[in-house]
Structure 1
Amino acid sequence: MDTPTAPKAGAMLHLRGNTLSEGDPVALPLTQSSMYHLPGDWSGGPSYGRADNATWEHLEHVLAYLEDAPVLAYPSGMAAISASLFACVKAGARILIPSDGYYVTRRLSERFLAQLGVEVDQRPSASFAEGGFAGYDVVFAETPSNPGLDLCDLRAVSQEVHAAGGILIVDNTTMTPLGQRPLELGADVVVASDTKAPGGHSDVLMGHLATRNPDILQAAREWRQFGGGIPGPQEAWLAHRGLETLELRFDRMCNTAELLAERLAAHPKVGSVRYPGLPQDPAHALAKRQMARFGFLISLTLDSAEQADAFINGCPLLRAATSFGGVHSSAERRARWGDDVAPGFVRLSVGTEPVEELWSAIAASLDALDS
């Protein structure tokens, strides 16, 4: 079965340009207003800054083109995740989330959904379908998982979830719409943090939700408007600017990651490497069926937390930081946040540096580690 591919990136760059009149600015204007001129009775146009903003609406237009589905923008990835869950879950519902996915999703579910009468269960991504999905109102999947990069079969999971009467939400942050197409694989809702590769410059928080289900879309829109979790126009403008170079950056980041993963797997100081693009990776066969690219994240395990910190801090071309997906390669020791990983586990986010220059710096830092 062919892997779903994204819409053309070139056409994305001209979505707005092809609607311009003479004298219109080519760059997206920034609409910085909380109020709109409203004489007489309201006719249905822009009314108030919490409900309408031309800048974030154009961001949504571009993201909707990439997702091939209606999109709502949110001020962070977690805001989009929250909207998806609160749009689909009610008191007494039962949901399933990944035990090895982004830890804040687990904390949100355990801290807030559970106290509202929602039953929250967890499973690891690699065995996500084991036990079936009967009795679950909402299933929330994340593949590849963050930070371990395990996969679950989205097409098979979606078929089973729907057969059981449930809704499937997929966090596609690690792959973007250019690398994986969850809606085409059967998901009802896709959420993502555009803080990562779509924004790409580590200077903006943004997220989005995409769905072809009009009821879910309306509920998520009302959650945003009534709850007040709206994106700022300046942030939306920055996220839109980042999207214009996403295809270029993502291609380079993925190409570089494929090469680095092979070299890291062969390095004597590296205990283990997870990267879906490696032929020996346990998720490789599924990744080839499900993903258009193998991504820009690599996980590697060193002997200890001290070695992990020495490797990250000793490499001049790695930024020691949480988050990922920026033009600067970055790395972090994920055990410090409580993830169920080895003390020396490192999540490496590959940026846009020239590949041989980046590898030389990484190899030198690894070579300098004490045995």
Structure 2
Amino acid sequence: MPDDMMDRAARLLHARQARLAKGEPVSLPLEMTSVYHLAGDPAGHKQYGRFDNATWEATEELLGLLEDAACVAFPSGMAAIAASLLAFAQSGDRILLPSDGYYTPRVLADRFLTRLGLQFDLRPTASFLDGGFDGYRIVFAETPSNPGLDICDLQAVSRVAKAAGAIVVADNTTMTPFGQRPLDLGADIVVSADTKAANGHSDALFGHVTTRDDAYLAALREWRKLSGSIPGPFEAWQVHRGLETLEVRFARMCDNAEMLAPRLRNHKAVSALRYPGLADDPSHNLARAQMDRFGFLIGLTLKDADAAEAFIERCSLLLPATSFGGLHSSAERRSRWGDDVAPGFVRLSVGCEPPGPLWAAIEDTLDTL
């Protein structure tokens, strides 16, 4: 990890300390209120729970420190994605989305954005640069793509798309700022589902948007205030807690994934495997250039849907779940949600278990298929 990120990780743990008076709690308190005392002129004071909350502002501070940018918190990753589109697009605009990324933004665009007069196109992540970006208001990239783990050259995409007049939005959920920093690669806006690794404990929904552009920041904050897409203070408190251990958790998860990937590829039950950290992965060279770690997600393909389901159900150290990024290793068969993957494709989210027992449990299960 670069020295500046190590410095941010250290400062994150002491961010609250700088403002503490003697006798105040070290841990972040919960501000559970919807109204504030507002005698007289309200200007310059907290006014209402839809506008202000000290707990979510403290969480925004930590996320902003990691991103080196201003942060706007939202109640989920999809709320953050929706804000990154709806705060800027208007009727007649065209949006570009990845055809192989997280499927819900495509459903949102098809079922709701088109009703507002917006148009959208789809393009595979691996060939995201092909065709250029003329005519697009927003270019939305997800790299690595979820679940296929293809990668696009985010620096090149940002340069070409911005030259064409587009706003570049990058979904960095799978990597976190400890693995990849899209703003440093030229993106205008970064979105993330902090439900995943940032929180890390699989007990809260949360999302955020970051940008270094003051006009974009103002638009995002106005969208949140007027749409009511605000995070709850308790969820913000949970994510604040999770962020304090993100650096060590992310390192362990990536270490475990790098250990598992070559062993899985060589197992007779695995017919195909995607992991950017493998030297022969199609995305490896690009991953080395723009990512600090190779991530904690692995895509493995077993012979069919039954084999995939048996693997997930039988392995004692795998949690069958549709999310990822938690302390527990988890897995799911993604074609059941309609992703364009083989029926036996399994998205494996590698957690923080000790590596020896984790591999033993996975290997023993694969041996039974």
If the TM-score is normalised by the length of the shorter chain, which range does it land in? over 0.9
Counterpart in the other structure of 1:349: 349
Q: State the alpha-carbon separation in 2 of the partners of residues 221 and 329 from structure 1.
A: 35
Cross-structure match for 1:101: 101
2:270 alignment partner AA: V
1:206 aligns with 2:199: no
1:12 maps to amino acid: L
Matched with 1:237 is 237
Alpha-carbon separation, structure 2, partners of 1:278 and 1:4: 25
Equivalent residues of 1:5, 1:180 under 8 A apart: no
Show structure 1 runs of 4+ deviating over 4 A: 2-5
**Aligned equivalents of 1:286 and 1:45: distance in 2?**
48
Shift of 1:5: 6.0
Moved more, 17-26 or 319-328: 17-26
| Cα distance in structure 1, aligned partners of 2:44 and 2:106 | 39
Match of 2:155 in 1: 155
Which position in structure 1 is the counterpart of 2:178? 178
Q: How does 1:42-121 map to 2 (within 5 A)?
A: 42-121=42-121
Residues 126-170 of structure 1 show CA distances to partners (whole Å, capped at 9, x for unaligned) of 001001111111100000000000000000000000111111000
1:3 shift after superposition: 8.0
Q: Distance in 2 between matches of 1:352 and 1:64?
A: 25
The letter of the residue matching 2:41 is: D
- Report the CA distance between 1:109 and its aligned residue: 1.0
| TM-fit CA distance, 1:43 | 2.2
Contact in 1 for aligned 2:8/2:65 (Cα 8 Å): no
The answer to whether the Cα contact below 8 Å between 1:144 and 1:174 also exists between their aligned partners in 2 is: yes
Residue 293 of structure 1 is matched in structure 2 by: 293
Give the drift of 1:8: 2.4
Matches within 5 A, 1:116-135: 116-135=116-135
* Worse-superposed segment, 105-114 or 247-256: 105-114
| Closer, same or farther: CA 128–69 of 1 in aligned 2, 3 Å | same
Which amino acid in the other structure matches residue 258 of structure 2? E
Q: Which residue of 2 aligns with 1:273?
A: 273
Confirm whether residue 303 of structure 1 aligns to residue 303 of structure 2. Answer: yes
Alpha-carbon distance between aligned partners in 1 of 2:107 and 2:214, rounded to the nearest angstrom: 28
Aligned to 2:228: 228
Letter in 1 for 2:144: P
- Is contact 2:141-2:169 (8 Å) kept? yes
Give the length in aligned residue pairs. 368
Which residue in 2 is equivalent to 1:255? 255
Instruction: Return closer, same or farther for 1:318/1:12 CA change in 2, 3 Å cut-off.
Output: same
Q: CA deviation at 1:245?
A: 0.5
Amino acid at match of 1:77: G
Distance 1:172 1:4 in 2: 20
One-letter code aligned to 1:261: A
Looking at structure 2, the residues matched to 4 and 89 of structure 1 have their Cα atoms a distance apart, in angstroms, of 37
Name structure 1 gaps, 5 residues minimum: none
Q: Structure 2 unaligned runs (5+)?
A: none
What is the aligned-residue identity percentage? 62
Match of 1:24?
24
Structure 1 letter corresponding to 2:33: S
Q: Is the 8 A contact 1:151 1:287 kept in 2?
A: yes
Q: Give the root-mean-square deviation of aligned CA atoms.
A: 1.1
Structure 1 pair 4–336 and aligned structure 2 pair: CA distance change class (3 A): farther
Query: How far has the Cα of 1:87 moved from its partner?
Result: 1.2
Deviations 1:256-303 (A, max 9, x none): 100100100111110011000000100000000000100000000000
TM-score norm. by structure 2 comes to 0.98
CA contact (8 A) 2:77 2:195 kept: yes
Structure 2 match to 1:367: 367
Q: Give the Cα separation in 2 of the matches to 1:334 and 1:222.
A: 36
CA shift at 1:21, angstroms?
A: 1.1
Q: Post-superposition shift, 1:23?
A: 0.7
Residue 327 of structure 2 corresponds to: 327
Matched AA of 1:156: A
Q: Is the 8 A contact 2:180 2:292 kept in 1?
A: yes
Give 3-state SS (helix, strand or coil) of 1:8's partner. helix
Distance, in Å, in 2 between the alignment partners of 1:12 and 1:5 is: 12
Cα contact 1:3–1:290 (8 A) shared by 2: no
Partners of 2:26 and 2:18 in 1: CA distance: 10
- Whether the aligned pair in 2 keeps the contact of 1:71 and 1:209 (CA below 8 Å) is yes
The letter for the 2-side match of 1:168 is V
Q: In structure 2, what residue type is equivalent to 1:315?
A: C
Corresponding letter in the other structure for 2:20 = L
For 1:31, give the aligned amino acid: E
**Amino acid corresponding to residue 348 of structure 1 in structure 2:** L
Deviation at 1:171, TM superposition (A): 0.3
Give the superposition deviation at 1:4: 9.8
One-letter amino acid of the counterpart of residue 159, structure 2: Q
C-alpha distance in 2 between matches for 1:92 and 1:65: 36
Q: How far, CA to CA, are the matches of 2:229 and 2:167 in structure 1?
A: 23
Residue 215 of structure 1: how far off its partner (Å): 1.4
Match of 1:11 in 2: 11
User: Quick one: distance in 2 between partners of 1:3 and 1:280?
Assistant: 25
CA distance in 1, matches of 2:210, 2:37: 31
